[in-house]
Amino acid sequence: MNSRYIRASSKIIFGQKYSFDIFKTIILDADFVRCNCISAYGNVIRGAGEQRPLNIMDIPSDTDQLDRYQIKKDDMISYSEHKFNTLFHCSNDLIFIQDMEMNILDMNDAACKCLGYCREQMIGTKLLGITLADFIPKEQKMQKELFKNKYSAYETAYVGKHGAIVPVEVNNRIINYENSEAILSIARDITRRKKVESELIRSENKFRYIFDNVNDEIFMQDMDLNFLEVNQVACHRLGYSKEELLKLRPEDIETSDYSPLIKSRMTAITHFNHGIFESEHLRRDGTTYPVELSCSIVELDGEKRILTIARDITERREAEATVRKHEIEKEMILDGMEEHVVYHDLEMRILWANKAACDFFNHERNEVIGKFYNEVWPVGIDNDGNCSIMQANIEGFSREVERTTPDGRIWSVKGYPLKGPRGDITG
């Protein structure tokens, strides 16, 4: 019979007129060996609500055997207590047993070692007495939850004997202890975890500070180009709050000239894992500004993400426009001169020539650029093959010579070395 039958049989025994010794024998035997069926002196006992007889034969009734059963039961109780004490004191967690008024009844060795108190110092006191002051209101709140729900879990911190603060994760449960209700508190030391969390928070704060204070816009997107994270610079320049910007897509913040290129940019990024592009951002108020986009595929939390850094290149564009304007002005001045002006590199390859020189060469400017000097304009070379311009390049001083062309014209050829910021000759 299973345990359900045993319990039914025990109830029947209470209702029978057996002697105390017989009843004691049956109960001890049932508790210890967990008999499959029960009978007294061969009489069949039927379980409550059961029709099948439950039968055990040869139950001893002499006192010696009863004593042996009692000894076995005492041994089992002693063994059970030994197992409890072993688990209680060998646990790495701090374990406290408290009465229903939160007085400590017992604590394990790990708790004594961690807090620096001996068991005698703590028994009869309350855990609230060693709780860090900042956590006392929370501790009192969780005590109410414990009595209401029979269970509570939370984080708190204890103060050790020598002032060391021990952060712990506590699990409280109401149990039956020595025939009375008691509170079992298991506190896990989370000092190492808190240290790691603190380092992570510090690292996150450092990252967040850099993320939000760099001078570029930063966007984190999934592979479908949805914005997952944006920095404050992006919000400020585009004129949106962070919540608003996270609801938009790239085509919402790029001008109509550049938004059709988003798909091709994505193809390039996916193929090469990185790409640099130029675009134009559209502010909330409708104004625009040019940007340089640096896009990379990165892995974050096991997922592929697109990190885009957008740099405002308004000043660069303005500087380029200014330089170009000056170049145009210089070209206009040089093109208005009757003298032939040619600019070439140190290998005598023509980089630019004014209109008068091009007309003399009988070539357009784009046809002249890239050719070697002596291929189109041999005027600077004397009968011995020496070039005054090359000598100027080598010596670093301006040179001037006269040359006569086959048509009888006499030319004054001057070579001026051009120097870079560090004084080296560039052309």
- Asked if 142 and 130 count as a contact pair (C-beta separation under 8 A), the reply is no
In a domain, 324, yes or no: no
* 254 class by beta-carbon count within 10 Å (0-12 exposed, 13-18 middle, 19+ buried): buried
Q: Which of 40, 57, 52 is CA-nearest to residue 1?
A: 52
Does 349 or 423 have the greater pLDDT score? 349
The whole-angstrom distance between residue 173's C-alpha and the CA centroid of its chain comes to 35
Tokens 């009375």, residue located: 180
- For the chain, the distance separating the N- and C-terminal CA atoms, rounded to the nearest angstrom, is 109
Q: Does some domain include residue 270?
A: yes
| 169 plus 235 within the same structural domain | no
- Would you say the pTM of this structure is higher than 0.75? no
Q: Is residue 399 part of a domain?
A: yes
Whether residue 146 is contained in a domain is answered as: yes
Candidates 277, 274, 273; CA nearest to 292 is: 277
The number of distinct structural domains making up the chain is 4
- What is the rounded CA–CA span in Å between residue 137 and residue 149? 19
Residue 205 belongs to a domain: no
> Does residue 390 belong to any structural domain of this protein?
yes
Say whether pLDDT at 76 is over 90.
no
Tell me what the mean pLDDT of segment 228-239 comes to. 91
Tell whether 354 and 305 lie within a shared domain.
no
Domain span including residue 390: 334-415
Examine the pLDDT at 427 and tell me if it is beyond 70. Answer: no
**What is the C-alpha radius of gyration for the chain, rounded to an integer number of angstroms?**
47
Same domain, 234 and 289: yes
**Are residue 33 and residue 77 in the same domain, yes or no?**
yes
Q: Are residues 55 and 95 in the same domain?
A: no
Q: Do the beta carbons of residue 279 and residue 291 sit within 8 Å?
A: yes
Residue 381: which of 355, 368, 354, 399 has the closest Cα? 399
Mean pLDDT of all residues belonging to the chain = 75
- Of 164, 148, 146, which Cα lies nearest the Cα of 96? 146
Q: Are residues 179 and 98 in the same domain?
A: yes
In a domain, 208, yes or no: no
Report the relative pairing of strands 399-404 and 350-353 from DSSP bridges.
unpaired
Extended strands (E) in 333-415: 342-344, 350-353, 399-404, 410-415
Question: Which phi and psi (to 5°) does residue 394 adopt?
Answer: -75, -45
Q: What angle do CA 111, 115, 116 make, to 5 degrees?
A: 110
Least confident span in 79-93, 141-155, 179-193, 249-263? 79-93
Tell me, what amino acid is at 356? A
Q: Which of 427, 412, 398 is nearest to 339 (CA)?
A: 412
pLDDT single digits (tens) 240-291: 999 999 999 999 999 999 989 989 899 888 888 899 999 999 999 999 999 9
List the alpha helices (DSSP H) in 214-313. 232-238, 242-246, 262-272
pLDDT in tens, 167-199: 999 999 998 888 889 999 898 998 898 888 888
d(CA 36, CA 56): 8
Neighbouring residues of 212: CB distance < 8 A, sequence distance ≥ 6: 231, 232, 233
- List the one residue out of 251, 254, 232 whose CA is nearest residue 243: 232
Residue 389 sits in a domain of what CATH number? 3.30.450.20
- Give backbone dihedrals phi and psi of 46, rounded to 5 degrees, phi first: -95, 140
Q: Which helix (H) or strand (E) holds 175?
A: strand 165-177
Chain position carrying tokens 């004593």: 67
Same domain, 96 and 190: yes
Helix (H) or strand (E) holding 94: strand 94-98
What pLDDT, on the 0 to 100 scale, is given for residue 13? 39
